[in-house]
Amino acid sequence: MKFKYYLTGCGWAHVDIEIEGIKLNYAVSYAMGDSLNELLDGIIWILDQKKEYPIGMIRNDKDSFSWNIDEEGSTVDFEFNKTKDKDSIKLKIIQHYNESKCMFDGNINFNEFLSEVINSCSEILNTNGFIGYHWNWMDQRDFPIAYYLIIKNYLEEEKNNCKKELFTDDKYMSPIYKTISEKEIKLIK
């Protein structure tokens, strides 16, 4: 599987997807929302990381999320649903042009998809930086760095088969994860 999300100009991005021999390419208009932020937020939700990192939207269903992109007059829905197999996720891609058409409906390797998403985010940061990303969003959106780091940390944990160190801060009476600035900076690289 290949998934690439990249900026193409002020207010525009592209999504290139290759799954099981199917190649899809979509132009994403930023004017209708914050598509990268929405994708990463949904991923964190389905990874069940919201209880550890209480940021972003709260959803009714923890086993699925939809990501919708706008192509100025047409939309594309990406529907993600958990499966019994932790390593795979069901993906359905539906284009809504003159009529609705299902372009893909099947299971994909979830960690492979996450790696592709994180690689796209890393490339955006390396190419544009935080400020360049903000300018390409027509001064409306900042790069979703917190979401990016949470997913990147999740992948590191999966790869190294290790978990975070948890401690409780009595002042706030909530679990807080010990973070090390050097680790966070390393994750950005």
Give a yes or no: residue 183 inside a domain.
no
Give a yes or no: residue 55 inside a domain.
yes
pLDDT in tens, 114-133: 999 999 999 988 887 777 67
Give a yes or no: residue 104 inside a domain.
yes
Hey, how many other C-beta atoms are within 10 angstroms of the C-beta on 50?
A: 18
Instruction: CATH number of the domain at 73, please.
Output: 3.30.2450
Per DSSP (E only), the strands in the chain are 2-9, 12-19, 22-29, 64-70, 75-82, 88-96, 100-109, 166-169, 174-177
pLDDT in tens, 49-100: 655 655 666 666 778 889 998 877 789 999 999 999 988 999 999 999 889 9
